[in-house]
Structure 1
Amino acid sequence: MPLDDLARTAYGEDHEAFRQTVRRFMAEEIAPHAAQWAEAGIVPKDIWPRAGALGLLCPTVPEEYGGLGLDFGYNAIVDEESAYTGGATTGFSLHSDIVADYIVHYGSDEQKREWLPKLVSGEAITAIAMTEPGTGSDLQAMRTTARKDGNHYVINGSKTYITNGQNADLVLVCAKTDTDVQPAWKGVSIILVEASRDGFTRGRNLDKIGMDEADTSELFFEDVRVPITNCLGEEGQGFVYLMSQLPQERLSIAVSAQASAQKAFDLTVAFTRERKAFGKPVIDFQNTRFVLADLKTRLQVGWAHLDWCLNRHNAGELTPEEGAAAKLWHTELQWETMDKCLQLHGGAGYMNEYPIARMWRAARVTRIFGGTNEIMKELIGRKL
């Protein structure tokens, strides 16, 4: 597999041994069922405990809470192998790279002991509910509220485009606990909401143009009562926490984007070697070779940059602007690669029976979620 041919600086021998475990799992447990799950629009919940048993979920969680206490490189390997296989386990990265870290960094000891072992084992699946209808990347404009009533919060509002929305057992809900304070971000808190709570309902599993197997949903909260102890960290600090954790989320997106771009390239090299036009393989045409040569060069640069980001992140040095830049650059590279590779497939590239068509559709959203690439440019530009 071409991922083995890459000279990586972010990984050691233990990482690569772990990669072989991840790869076997993807080949045996994921790839044979991906088409079925895409048709169903959801990955079955029973795959999560099987991943957990092999240490594929939340490997950075400290050992005292049931995890392996490893560095983020292990998460990145799961992301790479999943994306290279086809991305059917996109929900794993949301669960492991994003939600778990919020609980590790800001959760009370009680919250950590209650939830982290379940996240690691796959017993509980998580989601984070930030985006609302009409707000998009503007998190300060959220309307979901959590009003205090004695020793409880009463939550009202709705969220949309929520990954793992149908499967989630625990949702980290971003809500305004103070609707009067200015600036508005000071009133945002993150609250743990169990899916079993009265008043919590799931809307439809949204019909997307790509990532067909991911359960992306609407969530509704109507007088949902949760104890005040379900607040994650300090009340009113939710926006600060979100901004602090976004570099890792955006690095996670960059990792998956890079790996899926590599897969598209590898598929296209193989396709153009086999497909003939005017009596010779398509790869023998100068235009084909030049397009692929350019993409190979960009991918080579991309892997070097990604390893630089991973090394900085593991050292605690990756800045929010660098995380935004990684998300921006690698998702743009992904889209350029997908589009050019689909073009080299000709008419076959437009057929869903070919992997490149499904990958092209799935790639479109990466320049939107995790903050649009326009927002990434704004964040980078503010620090110039």
Structure 2
Amino acid sequence: MNDNKDMNHEFDHANEGLTIYRYESSRKAAALQKRYEDAIAAKGGTGASGGGANRRGRTSAPSILAAFLAGALMIGGLAYTSDRLNLFSGGTAGVVQTAAANGDSHSAAAGVKTASLQSSTEDFATVFNQANPAVVEIANYGIESNRSNLNLYGRNGGWPGSRQQSAQSSQDPVLMGTGSGFFFDKNGYILTNQHVIADAEELKVTVPGYDTPLTAKVVNANEDLDLAVLKVENPDGTSFPALSFGDSDQANIGDWVIAIGNPYGLDHTMTTGVLSAKERPITVTEDDGSPHQYEHLLQTDASINPGNSGGPLLNTKGEVIGVNTAVNAEAQGIGFAISSNTIQDAVKKMMAGTTVSSL
């Protein structure tokens, strides 16, 4: 008999004329015992003497065997029931077993609880719903060059700018690429990467809730840091939703982070990951082949693809701790963002003489 399985058990001794007993996990031990006793009494009444009553001082072999099996079944049933109800374990066996399945029985026995992702996923949805209205798509319209291919990714890294090369030969502005950005001020100021708006003749910004893209002008740009500030006017005269900056120095490696952007034109895509490293230096190869060194970047495994450039990297509070900037083309899950502390210092200088409400 296997007492570790919740299934019917059967003892088949047909050659000896014994009754077959079955029990289930829901059967009470007392009911089992009564059935066993009734069966023993019935066997005793049909012994070798052929009489209708039990004989004192004599017990047939089948009766002895039946009594033995009945006792074994009763003990097994009691053990099984106590195991299922945790009668002797104080309710801790289930905790240890669950933890052991996760490879952490020692922690569970000590009362240590393993972390759950449920609260994190709920935070992700909240952050997205709050931050997404402030994230925009930026379209760069420029004069077509004679280059047939653009080097999106350098040897060690590159710009995820989703640049496109048009087949037109006219000198009219054509769509050269798309990127992301976000409002950091309710008056219409947008932060993005400098490489997203480079060589643009015209910039069109798609804002959530507006059917027609808005025309943006460049307020200032910092090529060394790959940052640019744009300005759009709200046609209805109201303010825009804006994101606030967090302290990237307070972010820890392993913290959850969230990226929102427009990878490959798939607008308002959210990806999640962790902060993989801080203070990361990288060298990016520009379109003309020249190297560009960057310092103090945040590294993350949140998916960053062409079109994510300029989008926010958020913590679970919905604060901007970085601007997504580059990826390693030879790897998976290695992206980089400009830290918020670097951004804030730079933007203050770029916005000198301009009224900013939420920086």
TM-score, normalised on structure 1? Answer: 0.21
Instruction: Please say which structure displays the higher CA radius of gyration.
Output: 2
Greater strand percent: which structure?
Answer: 2
TM-score, normalised on structure 2? Answer: 0.22
Greater helix percent: which structure?
Answer: 1
